[in-house]
Structure 1
Amino acid sequence: MNAPNRHELFVLEDGEKALEVTEDTKIPNAATFKVVKQDHTLGNMLRAQLLASPNVLFAGYKAPHPLHPHFLLKIQTDGTITPAAALEAAASRLIATLSALEGKFRREFSFKDGESGGGAVTAGAMETDPYGGGPVGWGAGRDYLDF
Protein backbone atom coordinates (compact mmCIF):
# COMPACT_ATOMS: atom_id res chain seq x y z
CA MET A 1 0.00 0.00 0.00
CA ASN A 2 0.93 3.67 0.00
CA ALA A 3 1.10 3.94 3.77
CA PRO A 4 4.58 4.37 5.26
CA ASN A 5 6.01 1.88 7.75
CA ARG A 6 4.59 2.37 11.26
CA HIS A 7 7.93 3.33 12.82
CA GLU A 8 8.38 6.12 10.28
CA LEU A 9 5.36 7.89 11.78
CA PHE A 10 6.93 8.53 15.19
CA VAL A 11 10.70 7.82 15.14
CA LEU A 12 12.92 10.74 14.17
CA GLU A 13 15.58 9.96 11.58
CA ASP A 14 19.24 10.83 12.19
CA GLY A 15 19.65 14.59 11.96
CA GLU A 16 15.90 15.24 11.71
CA LYS A 17 14.63 18.07 13.92
CA ALA A 18 11.40 17.65 15.86
CA LEU A 19 10.48 21.34 15.50
CA GLU A 20 11.10 23.85 12.73
CA VAL A 21 10.27 27.55 13.12
CA THR A 22 9.38 29.92 10.29
CA GLU A 23 8.86 33.59 11.13
CA ASP A 24 5.89 35.13 9.34
CA THR A 25 6.91 38.26 7.42
CA LYS A 26 3.37 39.40 6.54
CA ILE A 27 1.79 39.23 10.00
CA PRO A 28 3.41 40.96 13.01
CA ASN A 29 4.37 38.80 16.01
CA ALA A 30 3.51 35.57 14.21
CA ALA A 31 5.33 32.37 13.41
CA THR A 32 4.61 28.95 11.94
CA PHE A 33 5.97 25.87 13.70
CA LYS A 34 6.33 22.56 11.88
CA VAL A 35 6.09 19.77 14.45
CA VAL A 36 7.47 16.58 12.95
CA LYS A 37 6.35 13.01 13.79
CA GLN A 38 3.20 14.16 15.60
CA ASP A 39 -0.48 14.30 14.67
CA HIS A 40 -3.83 15.92 15.51
CA THR A 41 -3.69 14.79 19.14
CA LEU A 42 -0.80 17.04 20.12
CA GLY A 43 -1.81 19.77 17.68
CA ASN A 44 -5.28 20.18 19.15
CA MET A 45 -4.05 20.11 22.76
CA LEU A 46 -1.37 22.74 22.07
CA ARG A 47 -3.86 24.93 20.20
CA ALA A 48 -6.27 24.81 23.15
CA GLN A 49 -3.52 25.68 25.64
CA LEU A 50 -2.32 28.55 23.45
CA LEU A 51 -5.81 30.03 23.13
CA ALA A 52 -6.16 29.99 26.92
CA SER A 53 -3.29 32.50 27.15
CA PRO A 54 -4.34 36.17 27.11
CA ASN A 55 -1.17 37.09 25.13
CA VAL A 56 -2.11 34.89 22.17
CA LEU A 57 -4.30 36.48 19.51
CA PHE A 58 -4.45 33.48 17.16
CA ALA A 59 -3.48 29.83 17.35
CA GLY A 60 -4.40 27.20 14.82
CA TYR A 61 -2.98 24.04 13.36
CA LYS A 62 -3.40 21.91 10.27
CA ALA A 63 -2.17 18.51 9.20
CA PRO A 64 -1.44 18.96 5.48
CA HIS A 65 -1.88 15.30 4.53
CA PRO A 66 -2.66 12.08 6.47
CA LEU A 67 0.36 10.28 5.02
CA HIS A 68 2.79 12.98 6.17
CA PRO A 69 3.43 12.70 9.93
CA HIS A 70 3.63 16.37 10.84
CA PHE A 71 1.42 19.34 11.49
CA LEU A 72 1.80 23.10 11.13
CA LEU A 73 1.02 25.30 14.12
CA LYS A 74 0.53 29.02 13.53
CA ILE A 75 0.73 31.41 16.48
CA GLN A 76 0.21 35.17 16.64
CA THR A 77 0.79 37.06 19.88
CA ASP A 78 0.05 40.61 21.00
CA GLY A 79 3.76 41.47 21.06
CA THR A 80 4.38 41.17 24.79
CA ILE A 81 5.89 37.72 24.26
CA THR A 82 7.25 35.93 21.23
CA PRO A 83 5.35 33.09 19.56
CA ALA A 84 8.15 30.70 20.62
CA ALA A 85 7.79 31.77 24.26
CA ALA A 86 4.01 31.34 24.03
CA LEU A 87 4.48 27.83 22.64
CA GLU A 88 6.96 26.95 25.39
CA ALA A 89 4.59 28.21 28.10
CA ALA A 90 1.65 26.33 26.57
CA ALA A 91 3.69 23.12 26.37
CA SER A 92 4.70 23.50 30.04
CA ARG A 93 1.06 24.02 31.08
CA LEU A 94 0.01 21.03 28.99
CA ILE A 95 2.64 18.81 30.62
CA ALA A 96 1.46 19.95 34.07
CA THR A 97 -2.19 19.27 33.17
CA LEU A 98 -1.41 15.81 31.84
CA SER A 99 0.70 15.01 34.92
CA ALA A 100 -2.21 15.99 37.17
CA LEU A 101 -4.58 13.88 35.09
CA GLU A 102 -2.21 10.90 35.31
CA GLY A 103 -2.02 11.34 39.10
CA LYS A 104 -5.81 11.34 39.41
CA PHE A 105 -6.08 8.33 37.13
CA ARG A 106 -3.53 6.35 39.13
CA ARG A 107 -5.17 7.37 42.41
CA GLU A 108 -8.58 6.15 41.24
CA PHE A 109 -7.19 2.81 40.16
CA SER A 110 -5.26 2.44 43.42
CA PHE A 111 -8.63 2.84 45.19
CA LYS A 112 -10.06 0.06 43.04
CA ASP A 113 -7.12 -2.23 43.85
CA GLY A 114 -7.46 -1.53 47.57
CA GLU A 115 -11.21 -2.10 47.66
CA SER A 116 -12.40 -4.52 50.34
CA GLY A 117 -15.06 -7.15 49.74
CA GLY A 118 -17.74 -5.35 51.77
CA GLY A 119 -17.65 -2.22 49.67
CA ALA A 120 -16.22 -0.11 52.48
CA VAL A 121 -14.34 3.02 51.61
CA THR A 122 -10.61 2.79 52.21
CA ALA A 123 -8.89 5.47 54.25
CA GLY A 124 -8.41 8.62 52.21
CA ALA A 125 -10.64 7.44 49.38
CA MET A 126 -13.48 9.83 50.24
CA GLU A 127 -13.35 13.12 48.37
CA THR A 128 -15.77 15.54 46.81
CA ASP A 129 -17.11 15.08 43.31
CA PRO A 130 -15.67 17.73 40.95
CA TYR A 131 -19.12 17.97 39.34
CA GLY A 132 -20.85 18.87 42.60
CA GLY A 133 -22.44 15.49 43.32
CA GLY A 134 -21.20 15.26 46.91
CA PRO A 135 -18.74 12.79 48.35
CA VAL A 136 -17.40 10.10 46.07
CA GLY A 137 -15.37 6.99 46.62
CA TRP A 138 -15.69 3.34 45.86
CA GLY A 139 -18.02 2.80 48.80
CA ALA A 140 -20.08 5.94 48.18
CA GLY A 141 -21.62 4.65 44.97
CA ARG A 142 -20.04 3.52 41.77
CA ASP A 143 -19.09 5.87 38.96
CA TYR A 144 -17.71 5.70 35.44
CA LEU A 145 -14.71 3.61 36.57
CA ASP A 146 -16.92 0.76 37.76
CA PHE A 147 -15.94 -2.26 35.73
Structure 2
Amino acid sequence: MNAPNRYELYVLDEGEAPVEVNEDTKIPNAATIKILKQDHTLGNMLRGQLLSMPQVLFAGYKVPHPLHPHFLLKIQTDGTSPPDVVLSEACNQLIGTLSSLESQFKREFSFKEVDGGAGAGGAAGGAFATSDDPYGTGTSTSGAGAWGNNRDDYLDF
Protein backbone atom coordinates (compact mmCIF):
# COMPACT_ATOMS: atom_id res chain seq x y z
CA MET A 1 0.00 0.00 0.00
CA ASN A 2 1.25 3.51 -0.76
CA ALA A 3 0.09 5.11 2.48
CA PRO A 4 2.80 5.88 5.03
CA ASN A 5 2.82 4.22 8.44
CA ARG A 6 0.48 5.93 10.91
CA TYR A 7 3.23 7.00 13.31
CA GLU A 8 5.04 8.83 10.49
CA LEU A 9 2.12 11.26 10.29
CA TYR A 10 2.62 12.73 13.77
CA VAL A 11 5.98 11.62 15.23
CA LEU A 12 8.96 13.82 14.37
CA ASP A 13 12.12 12.03 13.30
CA GLU A 14 15.28 12.51 15.32
CA GLY A 15 16.75 15.93 14.57
CA GLU A 16 13.72 17.02 12.52
CA ALA A 17 12.58 20.59 13.19
CA PRO A 18 8.79 20.99 13.55
CA VAL A 19 8.76 24.46 11.95
CA GLU A 20 10.77 25.93 9.06
CA VAL A 21 10.54 29.67 8.34
CA ASN A 22 11.47 30.96 4.88
CA GLU A 23 11.42 34.72 4.30
CA ASP A 24 9.73 35.72 1.06
CA THR A 25 12.03 37.79 -1.15
CA LYS A 26 9.34 38.98 -3.57
CA ILE A 27 6.74 40.24 -1.07
CA PRO A 28 7.70 42.67 1.73
CA ASN A 29 7.08 41.56 5.31
CA ALA A 30 6.04 38.07 4.25
CA ALA A 31 7.15 34.55 5.03
CA THR A 32 6.26 31.00 4.12
CA ILE A 33 6.28 28.71 7.13
CA LYS A 34 6.37 24.93 6.77
CA ILE A 35 4.83 23.14 9.74
CA LEU A 36 5.66 19.43 9.82
CA LYS A 37 3.54 16.53 11.08
CA GLN A 38 0.32 18.59 11.10
CA ASP A 39 -2.71 18.88 8.83
CA HIS A 40 -5.81 20.99 8.07
CA THR A 41 -6.90 21.07 11.71
CA LEU A 42 -4.03 23.22 12.92
CA GLY A 43 -3.64 25.02 9.60
CA ASN A 44 -7.20 26.32 9.58
CA MET A 45 -7.12 27.33 13.26
CA LEU A 46 -3.86 29.25 12.79
CA ARG A 47 -5.13 30.95 9.63
CA GLY A 48 -8.29 32.08 11.40
CA GLN A 49 -6.38 33.37 14.41
CA LEU A 50 -3.89 35.22 12.20
CA LEU A 51 -6.66 36.89 10.20
CA SER A 52 -8.19 38.22 13.41
CA MET A 53 -4.99 40.12 14.22
CA PRO A 54 -4.87 43.74 12.99
CA GLN A 55 -1.22 43.67 11.86
CA VAL A 56 -1.78 40.73 9.48
CA LEU A 57 -2.55 41.66 5.88
CA PHE A 58 -2.69 38.11 4.51
CA ALA A 59 -2.74 34.63 6.00
CA GLY A 60 -3.40 31.41 4.14
CA TYR A 61 -2.35 27.81 4.20
CA LYS A 62 -2.25 24.83 1.89
CA VAL A 63 -1.54 21.13 2.19
CA PRO A 64 0.60 20.32 -0.86
CA HIS A 65 -0.30 16.61 -0.91
CA PRO A 66 -2.43 14.45 1.39
CA LEU A 67 0.28 11.81 1.76
CA HIS A 68 2.84 14.34 3.02
CA PRO A 69 2.10 15.30 6.64
CA HIS A 70 2.83 19.03 6.55
CA PHE A 71 1.27 22.28 5.49
CA LEU A 72 2.57 25.62 4.25
CA LEU A 73 1.44 28.79 5.99
CA LYS A 74 1.89 32.11 4.20
CA ILE A 75 1.82 35.28 6.33
CA GLN A 76 2.16 38.92 5.31
CA THR A 77 2.17 41.67 7.92
CA ASP A 78 1.94 45.46 7.74
CA GLY A 79 5.58 45.80 8.84
CA THR A 80 5.04 46.54 12.54
CA SER A 81 5.98 42.95 13.46
CA PRO A 82 7.80 40.24 11.54
CA PRO A 83 5.72 37.22 10.43
CA ASP A 84 7.41 34.77 12.81
CA VAL A 85 6.67 36.97 15.84
CA VAL A 86 3.05 37.37 14.72
CA LEU A 87 2.78 33.59 14.35
CA SER A 88 4.10 33.13 17.88
CA GLU A 89 1.52 35.61 19.23
CA ALA A 90 -1.25 33.85 17.28
CA CYS A 91 -0.20 30.49 18.74
CA ASN A 92 -0.28 31.90 22.29
CA GLN A 93 -3.74 33.42 21.71
CA LEU A 94 -4.98 30.16 20.21
CA ILE A 95 -3.70 28.19 23.20
CA GLY A 96 -5.57 30.59 25.50
CA THR A 97 -8.78 30.23 23.47
CA LEU A 98 -8.56 26.44 23.49
CA SER A 99 -7.89 26.29 27.24
CA SER A 100 -10.91 28.56 27.81
CA LEU A 101 -13.03 26.29 25.62
CA GLU A 102 -11.79 23.25 27.54
CA SER A 103 -12.71 24.78 30.91
CA GLN A 104 -16.17 25.76 29.64
CA PHE A 105 -16.68 22.24 28.30
CA LYS A 106 -15.63 20.65 31.59
CA ARG A 107 -17.84 23.06 33.53
CA GLU A 108 -20.91 22.13 31.46
CA PHE A 109 -20.31 18.43 31.99
CA SER A 110 -19.76 18.95 35.72
CA PHE A 111 -23.26 20.53 35.78
CA LYS A 112 -24.59 17.39 34.10
CA GLU A 113 -22.97 15.19 36.77
CA VAL A 114 -24.45 17.34 39.54
CA ASP A 115 -27.92 17.04 37.99
CA GLY A 116 -27.74 13.28 38.23
CA GLY A 117 -26.82 12.35 34.68
CA ALA A 118 -30.38 11.55 33.52
CA GLY A 119 -31.65 15.09 33.41
CA ALA A 120 -33.49 17.14 36.02
CA GLY A 121 -35.93 15.06 38.04
CA GLY A 122 -34.41 11.68 37.27
CA ALA A 123 -35.67 9.31 34.60
CA ALA A 124 -39.24 10.62 34.52
CA GLY A 125 -38.32 14.30 34.20
CA GLY A 126 -35.72 14.15 31.42
CA ALA A 127 -36.64 15.43 27.98
CA PHE A 128 -35.84 12.07 26.37
CA ALA A 129 -36.92 9.79 29.18
CA THR A 130 -40.10 8.45 27.60
CA SER A 131 -39.41 9.31 23.97
CA ASP A 132 -36.56 8.49 21.66
CA ASP A 133 -36.90 11.83 19.86
CA PRO A 134 -33.37 13.29 19.67
CA TYR A 135 -34.54 16.40 17.81
CA GLY A 136 -37.12 17.59 20.33
CA THR A 137 -40.01 17.74 17.87
CA GLY A 138 -42.57 17.67 20.65
CA THR A 139 -43.59 14.00 20.45
CA SER A 140 -42.59 13.36 24.04
CA THR A 141 -45.28 11.58 26.06
CA SER A 142 -44.05 12.87 29.41
CA GLY A 143 -45.39 16.37 28.87
CA ALA A 144 -41.89 17.80 29.00
CA GLY A 145 -42.39 19.17 25.49
CA ALA A 146 -39.73 20.15 23.03
CA TRP A 147 -36.42 21.91 23.59
CA GLY A 148 -36.07 24.44 26.32
CA ASN A 149 -38.15 22.96 29.14
CA ASN A 150 -35.20 21.05 30.57
CA ARG A 151 -31.99 22.93 31.39
CA ASP A 152 -29.66 20.22 30.10
CA ASP A 153 -31.66 18.48 27.40
CA TYR A 154 -29.08 19.45 24.81
CA LEU A 155 -26.47 17.43 26.69
CA ASP A 156 -28.37 14.13 26.60
CA PHE A 157 -26.45 12.06 24.10
Structure 2-normalised TM-score? 0.78
| Alpha-carbon distance change, 12 to 52 in structure 1, aligned in 2, over 3 angstroms | same
- Paired with 1:143 and 1:78, the residues of 2 have a C-alpha distance of 47
| Alpha-carbon distance change, 92 to 15 in structure 1, aligned in 2, over 3 angstroms | same
How many Å apart are 1:118 and its aligned residue? 7.8
Name 1:119's counterpart in structure 2: 120
Number of residue pairs matched by the alignment: 130
CA offset digits 1:1-27 (Å, max 9, x no partner): 110000000000000000000000000
Name 2:155's counterpart in structure 1: 145
SS at match of 2:38: coil
| Alpha-carbon distance change, 59 to 143 in structure 1, aligned in 2, over 3 angstroms | farther
Tell me, yes or no, if the aligned pair for 2:43 and 2:61 is still in contact at 8 Å: yes
- Paired with 2:42 and 2:107, the residues of 1 have a C-alpha distance of 25
CA offset digits 1:45-78 (Å, max 9, x no partner): 0000000001000000000000000000000000
- Say which one has the larger Rg: 2
| Alpha-carbon distance change, 143 to 86 in structure 1, aligned in 2, over 3 angstroms | farther
CA offset digits 1:79-107 (Å, max 9, x no partner): 00000011001101100000000001111
Provide runs of 4+ in structure 1 moved above 3 Å.
none
Tell me, yes or no, if the aligned pair for 2:112 and 2:152 is still in contact at 8 Å: no
Name 1:4's counterpart in structure 2: 4
Tell me, yes or no, if the aligned pair for 2:58 and 2:76 is still in contact at 8 Å: yes
Name 1:132's counterpart in structure 2: none
Tell me, yes or no, if the aligned pair for 2:46 and 2:90 is still in contact at 8 Å: yes
- Paired with 2:23 and 2:55, the residues of 1 have a C-alpha distance of 18
- Paired with 2:35 and 2:64, the residues of 1 have a C-alpha distance of 12
Paired AA for residue 87 in structure 2: L
Tell me, yes or no, if the aligned pair for 2:21 and 2:34 is still in contact at 8 Å: yes
Name 1:49's counterpart in structure 2: 49
- Paired with 2:119 and 2:81, the residues of 1 have a C-alpha distance of 56
Percent of matched pairs sharing the same residue: 67
How many Å apart are 1:112 and its aligned residue? 1.1
Name 1:88's counterpart in structure 2: 88
Tell me, yes or no, if the aligned pair for 2:120 and 2:151 is still in contact at 8 Å: no
- Does residue 98 (structure 1) correspond to residue 98 (structure 2)? The answer is yes
Paired AA for residue 38 in structure 2: Q
Consecutive unaligned residues of structure 2, counting only runs of 5 or more, are: 122-148
**Aligned Cα RMSD in Å?**
1.8
Paired AA for residue 15 in structure 2: G
